[in-house]
């Protein structure tokens, strides 16, 4: 269905279900429903299920616009509470993906008990408010037809269960698998990964091998025929619930900690002396207070120390860190504190999430989502400029692009004679980075904004700057 | 031997397409009662096939 030009921006990631589509207008997140989806919505919104899931914070806050706007071609229009920062499953840590899977199963179990089901089972149905997962696809609920298995099971396997199995059983980071394939990992690929004795690991014989074999065997059968046959053979709601319980038990068992193998990077924060750390914390706190940001971005967040300081002054903080194990530890800590305003994400800033899916815009690229009023780039520039050979002006261009005009960039320059910088330089040919000097760095900063604060750390080899960008 | 070398099935399923194999496997995953449902489904298919054959030939 085409939407006439009425100030509406259709969400490029929302087209897979033609019956309902998310769009943006005047800063609001709206969802248009066709006749059938509108009937499903009205049944859902009148139910205890909807009330309970919303009250528990498991379902994104949603209300219907009454009367229905006449300038859009939909039978009903819903307004959703805004998600502060939209992230993709390949930017989550292991425990985040696992909690997203558990939330999805919990929502499905409650739905089945109340006579509803979900049309799909995708990881993309879940978003985050800080360290709290929330189910956002209100358009996915429909009335349960008794005797039918869950239509979303295949998607659940491909985008949630299989990535968890890959990491828990094989010790491989799941993120590249999901980033490379928008629809997740297929059973056929999983069977190759889980050959030999690995086929006996928890969840693998049924959800991978049997599932894959069944798909191959029934590739030609129409799913509506199979539905009818299953109903006739006595498939019931109790059986559907038993499947959900089995999946929940399995996902709970997959309590793997990727942190065990990733802690090598931890010394990056431990390299600081106590006076340096104190001075740095004070500087970040003052800069954040002076900026009073709505949104903050901590690039290279590590254990989240500075993201937490930013959160004293910002409404919402996205804490980006390259090491999935470090992000996992941070996420677990934030989750246990019930933190709803700091979102930790896995991201290599030298290779941030590109646009993905249809036309490369179905899943927005990180740089197109991540503008913030306050950007922290602490102990980061030397990793990009020396460690990854990114030219210093390009590093600063990227940091400037991520900062809203008038917002603040708080950036740390690690001098070439700093022990950490020396270690990075020792791995590179001599004289490779003649422009990596503090005077060159300051000149580059001055060209992009106004330096409003500057502090040298007590060790004398690191300098902090607060730069107001383009304003 | 492990079945990986067999012909690749057409598994490029559309979004919102539950997939026939993915529906049936859920019965088996659901425990003893589910296995019974799956067995019944296959039994009925088998019976239907044998019943149909004489009529097809005649």
Query: Which SS3 state, helix, strand or coil, does residue A171 take?
Result: coil
B15/A149 Cβ within 8 A: no
B18/A152 Cβ within 8 A: yes
Please report where in the chains the tokens 């909690």 appear, as a residue: A99
Q: Which residues of chain B have a CB within 8 Å of the CB of A193?
A: none
Whole-angstrom distance, CA of residue A93 vs CA of residue A190: 20
**Is a pLDDT exceeding 80 seen at residue B53?**
no
**Is a pLDDT exceeding 80 seen at residue A216?**
yes
> Higher-confidence residue: A214 or A470?
A214
pTM, 2 dp = 0.93
φ and ψ at residue A222, rounded to 5 degrees: -75, 145
Query: Which SS3 state, helix, strand or coil, does residue A150 take?
Result: coil
pLDDT band at B11 (very low <50, low <70, confident <90, very high): very low
Q: Which residues of chain A have a CB within 8 Å of the CB of B17?
A: 223
Count of pairs with CB atoms under 8 A, one residue in A, one in B: 139
**Is a pLDDT exceeding 90 seen at residue A144?**
yes
**Is a pLDDT exceeding 90 seen at residue A71?**
no
Average pLDDT over residues A338-354: 97
Whole-angstrom distance, CA of residue A183 vs CA of residue A177: 10
| A contact residues 121-160, partner B, Cβ 8 Å cutoff | 149-155, 157
Facing residue for B29 by CB, picked from A206, A223, A229? A206
Asked if A78 and A62 touch (Cβ cutoff 8 Å), the reply is: yes
Whole-angstrom distance, CA of residue B24 vs CA of residue A304: 45
**Residue B57 sits at the chain A interface (C-beta within 8 Å):** no
Q: What is the pLDDT of residue B34?
A: 86
Asked if A73 and A175 touch (Cβ cutoff 8 Å), the reply is: no
pLDDT band at B7 (very low <50, low <70, confident <90, very high): very low
Average pLDDT over residues A99-104: 98
Which DSSP letter does residue A383 get? I
Q: How many residues does chain A have?
A: 471
Whole-angstrom distance, CA of residue A94 vs CA of residue A177: 13
Chain A CA closest to residue B43: A233
Asked if A64 and A45 touch (Cβ cutoff 8 Å), the reply is: yes
> Higher-confidence residue: A417 or B11?
A417
Facing residue for B22 by CB, picked from A209, A211, A246? A211
Q: What is the pLDDT of residue B6?
A: 42
Q: What is the pLDDT of residue A272?
A: 73
**Is a pLDDT exceeding 80 seen at residue A265?**
no
Whole-angstrom distance, CA of residue A240 vs CA of residue A113: 10
**Is a pLDDT exceeding 80 seen at residue A252?**
yes
pLDDT band at A3 (very low <50, low <70, confident <90, very high): very low
Q: What is the pLDDT of residue A266?
A: 53
Whole-angstrom distance, CA of residue A154 vs CA of residue A214: 12
> Higher-confidence residue: A144 or B9?
A144
Whole-angstrom distance, CA of residue A459 vs CA of residue A85: 36
Average pLDDT over residues A64-71: 92
Average pLDDT of chain A to the nearest whole number: 93
Write the pLDDT tens digit of every residue in B18-51. Answer: 889 999 999 888 888 888 888 888 888 888 888 7
Q: What is the pLDDT of residue A104?
A: 98
Count CA atoms within 13 Å of residue A324 on its CB side: 21
Residue numbers of the domain that contains B53: 1-58
Q: Which residues of chain A have a CB within 8 Å of the CB of B10?
A: 219-220
B18/A240 Cβ within 8 A: no
Choosing among A230, A231, A236, A248, which should be mutated to test the B contact, i.e. which has the most B CBs within 10 A? A230
Whole-angstrom distance, CA of residue A150 vs CA of residue A104: 12
Q: How many domains does chain B have?
A: 1
DSSP string covering A342-363: EEEEE--TTSPPPPBSGGGTSB
Reported as type and span, the H/E element at residue A250 is: helix A237-253
φ and ψ at residue A127, rounded to 5 degrees: -130, -175
**Residue B56 sits at the chain A interface (C-beta within 8 Å):** no
φ and ψ at residue A462, rounded to 5 degrees: -140, 140
Query: Which SS3 state, helix, strand or coil, does residue A143 take?
Result: strand
For residue A377, cis peptide bond before it (omega within 30 degrees of 0): no
Q: What is the pLDDT of residue A273?
A: 84
**Residue A227 sits at the chain B interface (C-beta within 8 Å):** yes
Q: A414: left (phi > 0), else alpha (psi -120 to 50), else beta?
A: beta
pLDDT band at B10 (very low <50, low <70, confident <90, very high): very low
Q: Which residues of chain A have a CB within 8 Å of the CB of B21?
A: 211, 213-219
Average pLDDT over residues A26-55: 96
**Is a pLDDT exceeding 50 seen at residue B2?**
no
Q: What is the pLDDT of residue A385?
A: 95
Whole-angstrom distance, CA of residue A243 vs CA of residue B55: 39
């Amino acid at each position: 269905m085409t939407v006439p030009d009425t100030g509406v921006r259709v969400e490029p990631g929302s087209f897979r279900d033609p019956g309902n589509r998310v769009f943006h207008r005047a800063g609001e997140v709206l969802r248009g429903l066709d006749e059938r989806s509108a009937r499903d919505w009205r049944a859902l919104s009148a139910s205890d299920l909807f009330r309970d899931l919303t009250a528990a914070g498991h379902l994104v806050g949603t209300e219907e616009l009454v009367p229905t706007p006449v300038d859009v071609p939909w039978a009903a229009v819903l307004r959703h509470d805004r998600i502060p920062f939209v992230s993709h499953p390949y930017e989550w840590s292991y425990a985040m993906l696992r909690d997203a899977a558990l939330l999805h199963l919990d929502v499905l179990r409650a739905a089945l008990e109340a006579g509803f089901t979900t049309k799909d089972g995708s990881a993309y149905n879940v978003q985050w408010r800080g360290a709290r997962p929330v189910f956002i696809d209100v358009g996915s609920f429909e009335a349960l037809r008794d005797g039918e298995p869950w239509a979303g099971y295949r998607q659940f396997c491909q985008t949630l269960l299989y990535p968890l199995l890959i990491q828990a059983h094989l010790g491989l980071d799941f993120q590249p698998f999901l980033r490379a394939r928008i629809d997740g990992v297929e059973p056929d690929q999983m069977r190759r990964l889980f050959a030999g004795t690995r086929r006996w690991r928890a969840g693998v014989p049924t959800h991978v091998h049997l599932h894959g074999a069944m798909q191959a065997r029934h590739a030609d059968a129409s799913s509506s025929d199979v539905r009818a046959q299953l109903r006739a053979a006595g498939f019931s709601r109790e059986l559907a619930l038993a499947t959900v319980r089995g999946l929940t038990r399995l996902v709970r068992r997959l309590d793997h900690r990727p942190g065990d193998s990733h802690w090598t990077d931890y010394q990056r924060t431990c390299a600081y002396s106590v006076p340096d750390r104190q001075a740095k914390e004070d500087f970040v706190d003052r800069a954040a207070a002076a900026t009073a940001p709505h949104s903050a971005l901590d690039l290279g967040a590590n254990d989240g120390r500075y993201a937490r300081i930013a959160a004293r002054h910002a409404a919402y903080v996205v804490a980006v860190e390259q090491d999935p194990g470090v992000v996992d530890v941070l996420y677990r800590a934030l989750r246990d504190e019930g933190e709803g305003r700091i979102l930790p994400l896995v991201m290599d800033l030298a290779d941030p999430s590109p646009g993905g899916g249809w036309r490369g815009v179905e899943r927005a690229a990180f740089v197109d989502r991540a503008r913030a009023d306050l950007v922290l780039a602490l102990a980061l520039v030397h990793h990009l400029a020396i460690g990854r050979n990114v030219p210093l002006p390009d590093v600063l261009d990227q940091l400037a692009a991520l900062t809203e005009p008038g917002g603040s960039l708080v950036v740390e320059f690690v001098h070439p004679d700093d022990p950490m910088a020396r270690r990075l330089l020792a791995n590179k040919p001599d004289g490779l980075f003649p422009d990596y000097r503090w005077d060159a760095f300051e000149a580059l900063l001055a060209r992009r904004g106004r330096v409003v604060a500057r502090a040298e750390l007590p060790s004398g080899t690191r300098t902090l700057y607060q730069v107001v960008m383009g304003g | 031997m492990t079945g990986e070398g067999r012909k690749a099935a057409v598994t490029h399923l559309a979004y919102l397409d539950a997939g026939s194999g993915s529906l049936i496997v859920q019965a088996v995953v659901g425990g003893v009662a589910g296995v019974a449902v799956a067995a019944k489904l296959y039994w009925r298919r088998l019976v239907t096939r044998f019943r149909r054959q004489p009529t097809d030939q005649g």
